[in-house]
Amino acid sequence: QQQVKQSPQSLIVQKGGISIINCAYENTAFDYFPWYQQFPGKGPALLIAIRPDVSEKKEGRFTISFNKSAKQFSLHIMDSQPGDSATYFCAASKEGNFNKFYFGSGTKLNVKP
Amino acid sequence: DAGVTQSPTHLIKTRGQQVTLRCSPKSGHDTVSWYQQALGQGPQFIFQYYEEEERQRGNFPDRFSGHQFPNYSSELNVNALLLGDSALYLCASSSGVGYEQYFGPGTRLTVT
């Protein structure tokens, strides 16, 4: 059973637009939800993360929205830029689980100039 | 401050062979996790090492084994390689049970 489901698989956005990527999780014990950005040939880089005690976290152009009751969280990229073109992964982990992350399947974002 | 480093960058092996991949964690980190990332998929957790012991293990066969050294660096060993083991192998480091995990650039393993 896939613990974290991510959509869409790919996304095309015009420069300046808003990119939205969604994730849903199964295990209510999860309490840490990071987003990673990965460029071709590179390892994933931590972008932003949220805990379930808040519904939203913003860092620059990146915002995580969290809906605990629906077991969903999403990444919003405001004013998307061509340099944001990459693959984005959501993940989930639970306290005491020694950082065993469950990753989504990834979303390939292409921001058109 | 060096981040997570991995070696080698690329590796080509033949079915049935054995391979060893290496990882040095970010400065100040003592926990190393290994992930397998198949092409077009998200990373899959293999196992994690803390205080030189395997603390958590994902759904991978015993052909996958590891080791952590006193300086916190780690090795991933894969025996009896299969074609399906071809993937990007990622190492991630963190501090104890801290949540933030930082990934290295990965080792691209190709099994022919």
**Residue B112 DSSP SS3:** coil
**Residue B14 DSSP SS3:** coil
Q: Min CA distance, B14 vs chain A (Å)? A: 22
A46:B90 CB<8 A: no
Q: Min CA distance, B112 vs chain A (Å)? A: 20
pLDDT for A82 equals: 97
Whether A7 contacts A22, CB under 8 Å: yes
How far CA A35 is from CA of A38, A48, A81, A92, A107, in Å, comes to 10, 6, 18, 9, 11
Residue A95 predicted with pLDDT over 80: no
Q: By CA distance, what is A93's nearest residue in B? A: B99
Q: What is the number of H-type helices and E-type strands within chain B?
A: 0, 11
Residue A62 predicted with pLDDT over 90: yes
pLDDT for A94 equals: 83
pLDDT for A97 equals: 57
pLDDT for A100 equals: 83
A36:B103 CB<8 A: yes
B45:A101 CB<8 A: yes
pLDDT single digits (tens) B18-58:
999 999 999 999 999 999 999 989 999 999 999 999 988 99
Residue A13 predicted with pLDDT over 60: yes
Residue B98 predicted with pLDDT over 90: no
